[in-house]
Amino acid sequence: MNAQQIQTFFSTLRAANPSPQTELEYASVFELLSAVLLSAQATDVGVNKATRRLFPVANTPQKILALGLEGLSEYIRTIGLYRSKAKHLMATCQILVDQHGGQVPRSREALEALPGVGRKTANVVLNVAFGEPTMAVDTHLFRVSNRTGLAPGKTPLAVEMGLLKRIPAEFMVDAHHWLILHGRYVCKARQPLCSACTVSSQCDHGRRLQSILD
């Protein structure tokens, strides 16, 4: 994809969805952090089902700690890897209380120091909660970036750096959401819906496919 194709690509996605949002349900920065931490190797739908039960009871670090490990585990047991995630969330809550006054820190360094929080999770929190132009590369973004030619790379970090370099500034804050939604519902892993894709003419894969059909 060249610069003009990238401009058209994101202009098209923006026209279809001017204000994209995460599909995780949350009402505070702490709820967002918790939901993203729980979402590793799990679907947003599955996480939302669990947090709809958890957050009305415990939606602050202090309340999570008051539940105790077993109590927390009962609320999230439907989520994959729930035991390790419960331990990570409990440890994170303790650090938030001890070191950050119960608030979620705004710096990448402090976020990545929390148990269970890696670069991708930190990027989501920085972008969604604080409006920073970060790029959280999950399996969807990795696939879309490589398949379309937007930002090819062999590792998530390489793709992230490529996206940050190639995406125009006007699209940066919302680009993560557009790409994840595009990968989740259109540019699927096994059967991409190229015939229904509104940006296939800008996509390297789409143009190759069209040339074969022609």
Q: What is the 3-state secondary structure (H, E, C) of 186-200?
A: CCCCCCCCHHHCCCC
Q: Measured between alpha carbons, how far is 163 from 144 in angstroms, rounded to an integer?
A: 11
What CA–CA distances, in Å, run from 4 to 16, 152, 166, 182, 199? 19, 17, 11, 19, 13
Q: Measured between alpha carbons, how far is 136 from 124 in angstroms, rounded to an integer?
A: 6
Q: Which of these is catalytic: 44, 98, 120, 154?
A: 120
Query: So what's the pLDDT on residue 40?
Result: 86
138 belongs to the catalytic site: yes
Q: Measured between alpha carbons, how far is 11 from 197 in angstroms, rounded to an integer?
A: 14
pLDDT (tens, 9 = 90+) of the chain, 214 residues, equals: 999 999 999 999 999 999 999 999 999 999 999 999 999 889 999 999 999 999 999 999 999 999 999 999 999 999 989 999 999 999 999 999 999 999 999 999 999 999 999 999 999 999 999 999 999 999 999 999 999 999 999 999 999 999 999 999 999 999 999 999 999 999 999 999 999 999 999 998 877 876 676 5
Q: Measured between alpha carbons, how far is 27 from 146 in angstroms, rounded to an integer?
A: 33
Torsion of CA 4, 7, 9, 14, to 10 degrees: -160
120 belongs to the catalytic site: yes
Q: Which of these is catalytic: 63, 98, 138, 204?
A: 138
pTM: 0.89
Question: Mapping DSSP to helix (H, G, I), strand (E, B) and coil, where does residue 2 land?
Answer: coil
Q: Say how many CA atoms lie within 13 Å of 12 toward its Cβ.
A: 15
